[in-house]
Every structure is written in structure tokens, then in C-alpha cells.
Amino acid sequence: MTDIQALDSRYVAHTYARAPVTFVRGEGCRLYDEAGKAYIDMGSGIAVNALGYGDEGWVAAVSAQAGQLAHASNLYHTAPQALLAQRLCERTGMKRVFFGNSGAEANECAIKAARRYSALKHGENVRPVILTLENSFHGRTLATLAATGQDAFHHDFGPFPEGFRHVPANDVTALKTALSVGDVCALLIETIQGEGGVNCLTEEYIRAAREMTEARDILLMIDEVQTGNGRTGKLYSYQHFGILPDVVSTAKGLAGGLPMGACLLGEKTADALTPGTHGSTFGGNPVCAAAALYVQDRLTDELMAEVAQKGEWVRAELEQLPGVTVSGRGLMLGVESARPAAALVSDLLSRGVVALTAKTRLRLLPPLTIPWPDLKEAVSIIKEALSA
């Protein structure tokens, strides 16, 4: 254990089972530890560093904004926030954006917007329930934990806010029954359950969810915290399915490495939140917004086509190995193999590749800009580890 690791262990809350590595520097899609050892990054933090490390344009945008105006209260206007909201709306079909600082906060806003839409339209508390899926993940605050459909996260933290029910994923009949109870204001889903193991919802299920919610004036809210911002080969993953949700939440890769969350409100909820009903001190911070605006410039159709192509290539390569199956889409991939995922990740770390787990699977979330040579090198190391 190094000095820094000893300090960390003594003074930082033990909420993470940290790997015995201290990163000091990043460049492109490589990370460097205290001893100068290089690692190819196949995790991007957790889907955060969409442009890798030290991207010149990103650093310039952040530095310029930090020098000009690092923070102003949301009691006033700032240009980066307004320009970013415009860009996000124009690229998604949503109408307004609320900015927070994390995925959980983006989902908190979605939950509040849904409840208030319902209260204003259907009367106070008539339809309070938010439906979510079993095995989902929506965050660590108490409400987003209640929304999260995995009991492992719930133990010892109750009581939880009421008004959440879970249904099995990809079960259209169960969804129809649950939506028909009459107390549901919104359905909140991830198109690919990230923390849940990189499990894809089927196209049939997503389309049915859109049709059934629409018919009952129930909001369809897509949690794009992990799948968003180009990760799956579209700006937002719902865009693969030709549907328009009512609310989209996002964070992780949004600002390319700075903390930022956004709740994109569609036609129905655009005016659900009025002055005084919601807010955030730091939300939409000019530096984070300038970073996110720059990320938006870089998330071109060409880059997203490359993300899709690279994802397909990785899948084909890894599935050549016997007993290996790959789930996910674009550069959000889950790898199922005979080797336990946690052992695989620490083996990869010693071989110089940073990767993640998702339940029983190895999870790969490289920077969206990862160059072919680095990707090929990482995949060949991953193949060695899978075969070990």
C-alpha cells in the first residue's frame, strides 16, 4: 500500500472497494499510476470521460470558462447553460432542460416533474406511482434508491419514500397489468440496464412501453445516465427505436469529465416545474456547461457511426472465444465468460487494462474517441485474460 492509499484508507469513507491503484495522470485513452505504469482505459471512469484525457479542445473550453466566470447563481442568466439547453433540445426533441450535478439528481428531477405533472393534471396525489424495472439502477439518493429495482442496494436504509413499484424487464404483459392499475404517473426505464449487468431491453418492449404509456397519459421517462451522450452509437439510446420519450435524464458522459446532470423535459412536462418548485445551487455551472457544449460539438454523426462500428468489432472479436457472449450496444458492452468478472478485472488491471464489472459480466466503456490501435491492443489483452 502506498502512502496515498494509506491516507485514503484512514480518512476517506469506506464506501468503495478500491483497487490498489492510484492514478495521477491521463493522456488520450491511457491512464498512468504513481509508478508511471500505463493502462489502456476501457472504463472512462464509469462512462464519464467520453473524450478520454487531456483533449485539447475540452481543456481549452474548460480553462477559458474557468478564467472568465466559474460560477454564478441560478438567480441569473449565464450563456453556456442557455446554449447547452438549446443544443440538447434541438438534438432530442425535448423542450426544456433542468440542470443538476449527477445522475441521481437528474432522476430526482424526473420524479418530481412526473408527480407535479400528474398533480396539476389529475389532482393532488391521484397518480403518485413511478413504475420502474426489476434489476434497474437509478441512483443512491433515497428516492432514486427506492426507484432502483435491486434489493442489494436497499438493506438497512429504510424507510424509503413511497410511490415506486417494480415490474420485470421485457415482460409486456406484466407492464400492461401494472400500467392499468390507475395510480401510475410515469414509467422510468434504462434501454440497457448498465449496473444491472448490461441487459438490453428488446425493441418490441420499448415500443410497447411507448404505446401503452401514451394511451394512458402516463409519462415515459428514459434514464440515459449511462447510455446517453453517444455511448451506444446514438446521442441518446432511445433514438435507436424511433420513439420520443416524455422525459430523458442524463449525466455521466455529458460534460466529458466534470460533474453535470440534466433532466430533459418534453412537451408534457416542460412547464410542470415553476419558480420555487425545484432548484440546485451548482446545477448548470458555467464551467461544466462549457465542457458539455464542447462535448456536444464532438458528438457528430461520424463519431457515433464509429462508436457503433467499434462496438460491433469488439463483439465479433470477443465472441470468437468459446463460451464468451457479449451484450450491449456501441461502446457499452457486457462480456459473459466462465471467469468471474471481479477476478478478470483485477487480472486485466495487472496486464495494464482498466475495465469494470456489471454483476457477473465484465463491462467495457472505453472513451468514445478511442483510436483503433489502442482498442485493438486492449482487446487482444482482454482475449488473453479471458483465455487464461
Residue nearest to ligand PLP (CB): 103
Cα end-to-end span (Å), the chain:
27
Q: How far is the CB of 223 from ligand PLP (least distance, A)?
A: 5
Q: How far is the CB of 371 from ligand PLP (least distance, A)?
A: 26
Grid cell 495522470 in the structure block, residue: 25
- State the Rg of the chain over Cα: 21
Q: Which is nearer to ligand PLP, 194 or 284 (CB)?
A: 194
Q: Which is nearer to ligand PLP, 223 or 306 (CB)?
A: 223
Give the ranges where the chain is alpha helix by DSSP (H).
3-11, 44-47, 56-68, 79-92, 103-122, 142-147, 172-179, 203-215, 286-298, 301-319, 341-350, 372-387
Distant-in-sequence, close-in-space partners of 76: CB < 8 Å, separation ≥ 6: none
Backbone angles phi, psi at 118, to 5 degrees: -65, -40
Q: How far is the CB of 101 from ligand PLP (least distance, A)?
A: 8
Q: How far is the CB of 358 from ligand PLP (least distance, A)?
A: 10
Q: Which is nearer to ligand PLP, 226 or 385 (CB)?
A: 226
Q: How far is the CB of 198 from ligand PLP (least distance, A)?
A: 11
The answer to whether 187 and 218 are in contact (CB under 8 A) is yes
Q: Which is nearer to ligand PLP, 39 or 137 (CB)?
A: 137
Query: Where on the chain is the footprint of ligand PLP (CB under 6 A)?
Result: 102-104, 107, 137-139, 190, 194-195, 223, 225-226, 251-252
> What secondary structure letter does DSSP report for 384?
H
Q: Which is nearer to ligand PLP, 258 or 290 (CB)?
A: 258
Q: How far is the CB of 141 from ligand PLP (least distance, A)?
A: 8
CA-based diameter of the chain, in Å?
61
Q: Which is nearer to ligand PLP, 144 or 385 (CB)?
A: 144
DSSP 287-333: HHHHHHHHHHHH--HHHHHHHHHHHHHHHHHHHTSTT-EEEEETTEE
